[in-house]
Copies of this chain bind each other. A is one copy, B any other.
Amino acid sequence: MNPAVHDERHFLSGDTVRDVVIGLSDGLTVPFALAAGLSGAVSNTHIVVLAGLAEIAAGSLAMGLGGYLAARGDAEHYTSELKREQSEIVTHTRDEEDEIYEIFQQYGVTRQESEPVLLALKRNPEAWVDFMMRFELGLDKPDPRRAVFSAATIAFSYVAGGLVPLMPYIVLSQATKALQLSVVITLLALAVFGAVKGRLLGTPWLRSAAQTALVGGLAAAAAYGLAKLFSTV
């Protein structure tokens, strides 16, 4: 049936889109909130830019490398489970057969009804292992190039997102003026990003825009309040 729906779904839940969303949403939010918080405590933008750049460097590297290790971990997990299934269909053939019956029983399919599928899988051990990986363990074959690409996508998106709220502090020297401009352009950027994300993920775009701007705004307000409180102590 409708192949368009399948293509669309594949694209939308695409790993790259997810990586861009992860990087951009944190990149827009955290440096924004940090800069806002600091400008509630210091009057000069120099220290705000300094902290902001340090945060962008730290955040993008931590998230990018974290993404790299997570993707590589997924790949290793898949390989080790694959090896285990490959040996189990030989050493624990009966157990693995029972597992297939159990999978189908959850959906009201009797042993007798699922037997032809079992016999077909036993004809082809490679397909049997693939079937167990997907339907018993819920694991998809990972893309080997994914780890590096995922890391770069997340890190780059974080830097791109983080420079938006920092720009006013780089251009202007007075922290309060820069804060005002930063709030305006960042909330705008968050709303646009939220709307696009909503469209891509199939949730109502207006609500997604409002939610994304709200998260950034709340984080910034909390950081601002805390820094203000702490700087007057």
**A-to-B contact residues, CB < 8 Å:** 1-2, 9, 25-26, 29-30, 32-34, 37-38, 41-42, 47, 49-51, 53-55, 57-59, 61-63, 65-66, 69, 73, 76-77, 80, 88, 92, 95-96, 98-99, 104, 106-110, 112-117, 119-121, 123-124, 127-128, 130-131, 134-135, 137-138, 140, 201-203, 211-212, 215-216, 218-220, 222-224, 226-227, 230-231
Contact = CB atoms under 8 A, between A and B. Distances in A.
A53 B230 contact: yes
Contact of A116 (B32, B113, B203): B113
Given A29-B58, A37-B58, A51-B51, A95 B130 contact: no
A203 B70 CA distance: 11
A61 B138 contact: no
B227 A53 contact: yes
Q: Copies per complex?
A: 2
Contacts of A104: 117, 120
